[in-house]
Each structure stands twice: as C-alpha cells, then as structure tokens.
Amino acid sequence: MHARRRTETLTAALAALLVTAAQAPAHPHVFAEARLDVVVDDEHRVEALRHLWRFDDLFSSTVLVEFDKNKDLQLDTEELQEVADVVHESLAEFDYFQIVTANGRDVNMQPPQRLIADFRDNQLIILFESHPEKPLPLDGKVDFGVYDPTFYTAIDYVEDSYMAVENLPQDCRREVVRPDPQEAIAQNQQTLTEAFFNDPQGNDLSKIFATKLEIACADNG
C-alpha cells in the first residue's frame, strides 16, 4: 500500500504541475525550449511530427525531487519511465499541445504511443512522435503549432530553424509565423469575448497565440 500511495502522490504532483492552470493566473509557470520536425514522405504527405521539449531548471528540479525515489539526485531508467508515463497521461486531454490545420480546418492527430523522458544538464527533456489520423497531403496551406491552451506552460521555439521540415517538396515553402499577442487580441476581440462567455474554462483560444510552422504548397487537388 505504501508504494501505491507514493506512486499516486508522484502522479498527482506532476499532473498538477502540468495541467492545473485553470486555477492559476493566465500566464506561464513552466517554460520549455522546443524543437519540432515535420517528416514528409515521398508522396508529399505528412508522415510524422517529432517533438523535443527541454524544460526550465526550476520545473526540472521539481520533477527530480518528486521522482527521485532512491534519493541519489538523479533519475534512473525506471524513474524516467514513470515521468514519461505521467506526462503522457496528463497531456492526453490537451492533444499533447499540438495544433494542426490544413487549409483552415483542424487535423486530428493520433496520440503518441509513448513518450521518452531524459534528464541532461539538470533539465528534463521530453521526446515523442505523433502521426495524422488520416493521410495529410501537402496541398494548399498546412500549419503546425504547439501551445498550451491553459497558458500554464510556455513552449518556445528560440530559433526559426527549430521548426524544421524533413523532405520538403520543391513546390512548397516553409515559414515560421510568430503572432504578436497584443495584435492577436485586438484582431480577435469579438471572438475572444464570445468564447469566454460561452465557456470560460473550455474554450480553445490557443490557435491565435501559437507560434506556427506554415507550409504552403501548390494545390494539387
């Protein structure tokens, strides 16, 4: 029973750190530098999204304290697996912070089968790969973003090169779009107001704030 209670406590601790933003002020408490690689197959379809998140020192040290069962000041393989499992479960309802649209329409992504956790230079690193539920051809404009809709976790792509495309077709162009928050609010004021009053807790406003990788291609349809 003691081991079970400890596991439940650890799970609750990390889950709370990641997804209890509804009870917190609307500004980030956890920060991560990220990399996104969009993998395109030979038929010009999106095959996979590969994510790497490197978390800030404060959050990483909190995870270390909570999950270091043997108190050796490092996370061994089993402890890292527990971290990965907890993050995997906690982020499921948020679609793993992924925002994908094709010509303005939402694209559903398969949940990643697993997450990998690592701890390097005193920072927690999370890696995972996801795939579109249905074939996603690069026709027209396809956007990829990563954003926490609760505003609790800030996912930051420090350099435009950290949002990359593998096997980009010749008739496509890649661009990183970084919305200005104040401008985004001004341009979407009515939508934001209506969404808040319709559902203050459950509205999804993250799309207008997310840094996006935009792939624009000739429409072959």
198 or 118: which leads in pLDDT:
118
What mean pLDDT do residues 181-197 have?
A: 52
101 touches 208 (CB < 8 A):
no
Question: Is 197 a residue whose pLDDT tops 70?
Answer: no
Question: Is 17 a residue whose pLDDT tops 90?
Answer: no
Average pLDDT score over the chain: 83
Question: Is 221 a residue whose pLDDT tops 70?
Answer: no
pLDDT band for position 149 (cuts 50, 70, 90)? confident
128 or 206: which leads in pLDDT:
128
What pLDDT shows up at residue 209?
74
